Structure formats: C-alpha cells, structure tokens
C-alpha cells in the first residue's frame, strides 16, 4: 500500500476505534445480573449479527467483522499474516488428531488462517506434506509420525507449538514493521515463560525444555533453561534481570494472572502506534485491540454464566485499548 492508502485506511480505523469498548462499557457489562443481560447490552452496541444469540456466535461474528474490514481496506492481507499463523498450526494439530482418531469434525478448525484448513487436512490424510508451506512441512511430518507411531499427543503438540512460535517470530521480524516485530517478540516471550512454569511444575527434563522453548531476543535461551532446571525461585531471579521483572508477581499468583499481565503489556506497548498514520501499524494495533476486547468479553460472559463472583471476574479482565 502507498502512504496515501494507509492514510485513508487509518482514518477509517479512527472512526472504528470510537466503537471499541472502554472501561465504562466493561463496567456496564459487569453491572449486568446475568449473561443474557450482558448479551442484550452487547447487541445494543452493535455486537453480533441478526439471529446471533449464542455468546460464541456473537464473539465469532465480531472477529469476522474485524477481518472483513481489513480485507476491505488492505489490498494484500498477507501483511497481517503474523497474527494468523497460530491458526494454521492449531489446524495442523486438529487435523493430525482427527486422522489419528479417524473422526470427522469440522468444528475443531479455526477460520482466518493463511492456509485453507481443507488443504492441511488433505495433507495429513494423504501423508503428503509437500503441499504445505515450507515453514510447516518439517514439523507436520515429525508430529504426524510421533502421533501415529507412539500416540504421544503431548510431544506431537509441543513440536507443532514450537514451530508456530518460530514462524511467528521469524515472519514478524521479517516484516520490518515495529508493531508486528514487537508483537512477535512479546508473543514468544510470553509463551516461553508459560512453558517455563509448566515444565517446573511437571518436572520436565532439560531435553524436553530445550525442545519446547522458542528463541527470542528478550530472553536468553540458555539462562532461561538453566533457571527452569533450578526451580521456581531461580526462574524469578532470572526474570529480575530481564525486561519482564514485573511478570514474576503475576507468575507467582496464577497462570491466568500472568496471561492478563502480558496481554496488558501488549496493549500498553502498542498504544503509541495509534499515532503513526503512514504505516500499517494503526491497523495492526486495531486488530490486537479487537482481539483483546473479544477475549475480555469472553471472560466476562463466562464468569456471568458460571456465577463467578464479580471480584474474581475483574481479576481476569484486561485493560482496554481506549
């Protein structure tokens, strides 16, 4: 896209940002007595489509609206593939499990990937991974073999998850866009720290840890691995030497508290990109803001549905972009 095209697209995004949910909107949803009341309020704000009454349908419709908007404004949607690779690798895991279990379900696949899910499923069924992109072929072959030969779903998933992170990181950095590069960095760092805690709690050995962790500039692969081997306190001490020192408290609290901490960090770090109208960054920031908004609403609706206390729900809610 040219600078002029970005200016037009960013102007449209500015008007869309006015419709994003803010703190007062979230407070209004929190004041609702039930999930059904929340859904009515969301519907009044333009969420969902006619006939959508189920919460997941409404959230799905909102995600589709975001990507429909991007397709309208951007000639080549591949500029946003950094956000979509994870869906591709999820679909690869789903396809391998489907073939392994000889099942036939379409509801386990995610839309808005960079590869048609039918192509992925066909590649697994026919054991012909040459039809997949280069970044997926090797991990698909290895994960498929392990799943079929050993039935070890965890190891199969680890291989695919690691490939997903490596792909997001490499492709995000290759865009040379500040926001996409930042997103890739934070995405991998967040995943690595989640892996670190899980590996400590389940007593994984060094070879497993080294296989699961992805590399990124903001975390030292070897120091992080050593810290995992030495236990939780060593991990927290290592974090104190990184830009994620504040994450230690969240990690000590719970995995959900850590996920919230990192999501809030992303929102905080991308906000300056609002004011850069000559690049795709404000558009990419809007996509992340919408994903954050949808995640927040999902948490809130789930809490209301399951009669979770308002205090417990609020502890999981994310900071909003606006």
Tokens at 27, concatenated: 């407070």
State how far the Cα of 251 lies from the Cα of 101, in Å rounded to an integer: 35
Return the pLDDT at 252: 87
pTM of the shown model: 0.92
pLDDT tens per residue across span 254-312? 888 999 999 999 999 988 877 777 888 999 999 999 999 999 999 999 999 999 999 99
What Rg, from alpha-carbon coordinates, does the chain have? 21
Q: What three-state secondary structure class fits 216?
A: strand
- Cβ contacts of 234-243, under 8 Å, gap ≥ 24: 235/196, 235/197, 235/200, 239/193, 242/218, 243/218
Instruction: Please report which helix (H) or strand (E) contains residue 187, including its range.
Output: helix 178-202
Q: What three-state secondary structure class fits 53?
A: coil
pLDDT tens per residue across span 49-70? 877 678 999 999 999 999 999 9
> What pairs with residue 219 in β-bridges?
216
Tokens at 251, concatenated: 């990690």
């Amino acid at each position: 896209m040219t600078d002029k095209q970005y200016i037009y697209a960013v102007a449209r995004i500015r008007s869309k940002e006015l419709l994003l949910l803010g703190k007062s909107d979230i407070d209004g949803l929190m004041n609702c007595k039930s999930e059904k009341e929340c859904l009515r309020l969301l519907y009044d704000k333009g969420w969902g489509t006619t006939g959508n009454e189920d919460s997941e349908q409404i959230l799905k419709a909102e995600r589709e609206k975001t990507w429909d908007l991007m397709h309208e404004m951007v000639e080549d949607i591949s500029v946003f593939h950094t956000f979509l690779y994870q869906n591709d690798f999820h679909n690869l895991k789903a396809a391998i499990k489907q073939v392994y279990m000889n099942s036939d379900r379409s509801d386990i696949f995610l839309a808005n990937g960079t590869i048609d899910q039918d192509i992925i499923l066909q590649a697994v069924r026919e054991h012909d991974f040459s039809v997949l992109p280069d970044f997926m072929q090797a991990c698909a072959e290895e994960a498929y073999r392990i799943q079929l030969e050993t039935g070890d779903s965890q190891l199969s998933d680890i291989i695919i998850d690691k490939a997903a992170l490596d792909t997001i990181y490499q492709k995000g950095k290759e865009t040379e866009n500040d926001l996409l590069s930042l997103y890739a960095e934070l995405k991998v760092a967040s995943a690595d720290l989640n892996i670190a805690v899980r590996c400590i709690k389940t007593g994984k050995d060094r070879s497993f840890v080294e296989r699961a962790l992805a590399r990124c500039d903001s975390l030292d692969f070897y120091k992080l691995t050593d810290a995992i081997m030495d236990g939780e306190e060593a991990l927290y001490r290592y974090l104190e030497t990184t830009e994620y020192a504040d994450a230690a408290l969240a990690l000590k609290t719970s995995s959900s508290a850590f996920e919230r901490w990192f999501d809030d960090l992303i929102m905080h770090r991308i906000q300056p990109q609002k004011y850069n109208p000559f690049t795709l960054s404000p558009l990419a920031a809007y996509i992340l803001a919408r994903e954050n908004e949808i995640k927040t609403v999902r948490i809130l609706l789930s809490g209301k549905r399951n009669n979770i206390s308002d205090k417990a729900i609020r502890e999981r809610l994310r900071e909003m972009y606006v």
